[in-house]
Amino acid sequence: MKAKHRFVVAVVVLGLLMTGPFVVTSLLVWLDMKDAERQLLTELLLSRLPVGTMMTVFGFVLGVLVLHYLFKQYVEGLLRMAETLRLMLGANRNFRVKIDGPPEVQQLARAANDLAQQRDELMDDVDAQVAKAKASVEEEKNRLAALMSELAQAVVVCNLDGRILLYNNRARLQFKALAQGPTSVAGGALIGLGRSIFSILEKNQVQHAQEVILQRLAAGKSAMSNFITTTRSGQLLRAQMVPVLAATGSDGETAMSGYVLTVENITRSLEQEARRDQALHSLTEGSRSALGSIRAAVTNLIDYPDMEQELRERFVKVVDDEAAKMSQRLDVTMAEFSDSMKTRWPLEDILGIDIILAAQRRIDDRLKLPSKTEEIEDALWIKADSYSLVFALVFLASKLQDHYEPRELRFRLTSEGKLAYLDLIWAGPAMSSETFYTWEMESMQVGSDTSPLSLRDMIDRHGGEIWYQREKAAHRAFFRFVLPVAMPEVLHEEDERKRGSGRPEYYDFDLFKYSDDSIDLDRKLSDLTYTVFDTETTGLEPSNGDEIIQVGAARIVNNRLLRQEVFNQIVDPERPLRPEGIPIHGITEDMVRGQPTIDTVLPAFHQFCEDTVLIAHNAAFDMRFLQLKEARTGIRFSQPVLDTLLLSAVVHPNQESHKLDVILERLGIEIGKRHNALEDALATGEVFLKLVPLLANQGIVTVRQALEASEKTFYARVKY
């Protein structure tokens, strides 16, 4: 029985106790009286009935007030204390019972807090022992995650149903680059823990590769399978699959429980090879007829030495024209081949001092020219192709030695902002700009080593610059290479690192057990995949023209909030923002200008959250905005929706407030910034994970039970 129902019963009992004995006694006396006595008693009571009634009513009201006070202090106070104790047991162990109410309740609260403190000390000791025992295992897992994250090749690990349970940063960036259409708005390709690899790779090819591996395993051969597949955007991917084997019993037998995919985008390399093949084909086929004409002309000149002068000149003209055409065709082909060479080698992060040391060794070995260093930033990293850069330095040193015979060379390495300055210095006479231009444009050659690239080609491929400059006071000159400083890859990764802490979130090996991709309302809350989301809007009236200006969302997989797998997009509302709302959400007119409209963002968000249960705080508000856009966008969110506001009311019905700020404080959750869609969504996800065990304590363990319990709360009646 609910507390308010018990209070009503208590009031009824009080009324019966106050009036019951008097009524029963009066009835017994009345039945035992004679008629004359009854008449006399009636006359006596009627004159005094108003006063008696007023006294009875006054006493009843006073009794109800006293009963309400006692009920409030003892019954509701103890119920709130019980909720707080369950909160300390399940969600926020640092929370404490508030010391208020009558002295007896205060003593009970102090005793409960003392017990909670002792429990925390014991739990801290147990946690320390468990953490110590798990440290080595966790360290191995994190080493693996770090290794996978830093690999230059895209790696994805899946279970047998194609669900992704590990991927590294290279895979995330590669599939994001392959994304097309609405998914490119805010998240790139939909790669993430628990998602299906078949949304990226062709399912039939992956399954065929699995069959090949199983056959090779059965035959006792090395288990590996390779295949090439095409993405929706027409890109070619080369994939290699190896099995993940797990023990199936005590006899030591193993079976395939998943697979590792290494994926490489070979589209560009195939295009370059096709270009080179076409160039070689053009060179050979185009030269065939020219060589035939030249051979015929030369044969005639040899066979007929006494031919007429006019005819001889015609044959010589044929040889000259065909040779000129061949030369022109060769120049064009080499130019195309050189262009393909420029994009052939990737730029890598390398210490600038290592480039200088390599160049010094080559110059000393090849040219016997001494060199020194001055003003070197030892910790400066640059982005470069080390081979071509060192070759360019040796090439310039060779040119200087041939033309100006310097006694020694000096190297200098400095930086300014995002640019690195690598200087090759020598003492000697001034160089003309024409000479430097000639060196810059000719193909580089050092002894017998040649490169199809010119110095200008090499600089352009680095996205840098080179110039010649004199130091008149020191009677020196130098070539300055301006190169990009190596910077970490910036794709909102700094924000992701701030959101993520502790164990890396690019893997979850427990997902080997995950197979069902349907939304079954009778499954446990901890077993499903969720998308927790929030919106920022121009106002609070969706039915009166207010629009969405930001959508933020994150995924919960295997009872973990994945802070790296997020959706975060500013939306152009196509209407002016309310000035009073800007200080609250911090989104200005400049921030929404040029952003995609809801027609583009909503399909992308729908794809991000498909096949998941939606979670929001005060979900009726956010869902109303989405529902009003169904006719315009054709997008309908039909999956189940859980509301943390309603779930909080289910778990803590006696708490006065269920605002997000209050719940965060109650559950001990910290948030970076309120009224930011992504940050609020992440906070709501933390709230939900804290509420799951509290709901289980009340027997609410499935999505269906959570929805049914939510519908019974007072807050479920709120409409927008």
151-265 folds as Beta-Lactamase (3.30.450)
pLDDT tens digits for 93-108? 676 767 777 777 777 7
Confidence bin at 643 (pLDDT 50/70/90) = very high
Confidence of residue 499 (pLDDT cuts 50, 70, 90): very low
pLDDT score of 502: 37
Question: Across 343-357, 359-373, 487-501, 645-659, which has the greatest mean pLDDT?
Answer: 359-373
Tell me the pLDDT band of 701, cut-offs 50, 70 and 90.
very high
What average pLDDT score do residues 215-241 get?
A: 82
Diameter of the chain measured on Cα atoms: 175
Nearest to 73, CA basis, from 115, 97, 103: 103
Answer for the pair 58, 66: CB distance below 8 angstroms, yes or no.
no
Which tokens in the block code for residue 143?
């080493």
The SS3 of residue 53 is: helix
As a whole-number percent, the residues of the chain with pLDDT over 90 amount to: 25
The CA distance from 356 to 372, in Å, is 10
pLDDT of res. 689: 94
Range among 263-272, 336-345, 691-700 rated most confident: 691-700
Cβ burial of 134 (10 Å; 0-12, 13-18, 19+) is exposed
Give pLDDT, residue 592.
92
pLDDT band (50, 70, 90) for residue 7: low
Lowest mean pLDDT among 57-61, 527-531, 550-554: 57-61
Q: What is the Cα Rg of the chain in Å?
A: 41
Q: Residue 554 pLDDT more than 90?
A: yes
Residue 642 has pLDDT above 90, yes or no: yes
Give residue-wise pLDDT tens across range 300-311: 888 888 888 888
Of the residues 403, 492, 617, 675, only one is catalytic, namely: 675
What is the per-residue pLDDT for 5?
Answer: 66
User: pLDDT band at 110, cuts 50/70/90?
Assistant: confident
Q: Is the pLDDT of residue 210 over 60?
A: yes
> How much is the mean pLDDT over the chain?
80
pLDDT of residue 510 exceeding 60: no
Class of domain 516-717: alpha beta
Q: Could you give the percent of the chain with pLDDT greater than 70?
A: 80
Tell me what the mean pLDDT of segment 650-657 comes to. Answer: 85
Q: What is the mean pLDDT of residues 79-105?
A: 70
pLDDT computed for residue 368 by the predictor: 92
Tokens of 571: 């939306």
Beta-sheet pairing, 348-351 with 381-384 = antiparallel
With H, G, I as helix, E, B as strand and everything else as coil, classify residue 469. Answer: strand
- Mean per-residue pLDDT, 62-76: 73
**Mean pLDDT throughout 27-45?**
75
Residue labelled with tokens 């680059």: 177
Q: Check: CB of residue 155 under 8 Å from CB of residue 260.
A: yes
pLDDT tens-digit profile of 427-485? 988 888 888 889 999 989 998 888 878 898 888 888 888 999 888 787 899 999 999 88
Listed range (37-51, 220-234, 333-347) with the worst mean pLDDT: 333-347
pLDDT of 617 strictly over 80 = yes
Q: Is 675 labeled as catalytic in the residue annotation?
A: yes
Mean pLDDT of the 232-247 span: 82
- Residue 498's pLDDT band (cuts 50, 70, 90): very low
Of 267-281, 343-357, 510-524, 550-564, give the range with the top mean pLDDT.
Answer: 550-564
CB 551 within 8 A of CB 605: yes
Which residues contact residue 296 at a Cβ distance below 8 angstroms, ignoring those fewer than 6 apart?
none
* C-alpha to C-alpha distance for 641 and 663, rounded to whole angstroms: 19
Residue 488 has pLDDT above 60, yes or no: no
Question: Per-residue confidence at 345, pLDDT binned at 50, 70, 90?
Answer: low
Q: Is the pLDDT of residue 149 over 80?
A: no
Query: HSE (CB half, 13 Å, CA atoms) of 443?
Result: 15
If you average pLDDT over residues 238-245, what whole number do you get? 90
Phi, psi of 261 (to 5 degrees): -115, 125
Q: Which of 96-100, 197-201, 482-486, 667-671 has the lowest mean pLDDT?
A: 96-100
Residue 267: per-residue pLDDT: 76
The residue among 441, 342, 338, 444 whose CA lies nearest residue 385 is: 342
Enter the tokens of residue 680: 């609020």
Task: Determine how many CB atoms are found less than 10 A away from the CB of residue 426.
Answer: 22
Please state the length of the chain.
Answer: 720
**Predicted local distance difference test score (pLDDT) of residue 183:** 43
Rounded Cα–Cα distance for residues 679 and 41 (Å)? 78
The pLDDT value recorded for residue 203 is 86
Those residues with Cβ within 8 angstroms of residue 98's Cβ, 6 or more apart along the chain or in another chain: 84, 109
Q: For 151-166, how does the pLDDT look when each residue is reduced to its tens digit (9 = 90+)?
A: 668 889 999 988 888 8
What pLDDT is recorded for position 535? 94
Domain limits, the chain = 3-90, 151-265, 270-342, 348-484, 516-717
- The CATH code that applies to domain 348-484 is 3.30.565.10
Q: How far is CA 292 from the centre of its chain?
A: 63
Would you say residue 379 has pLDDT above 50? yes
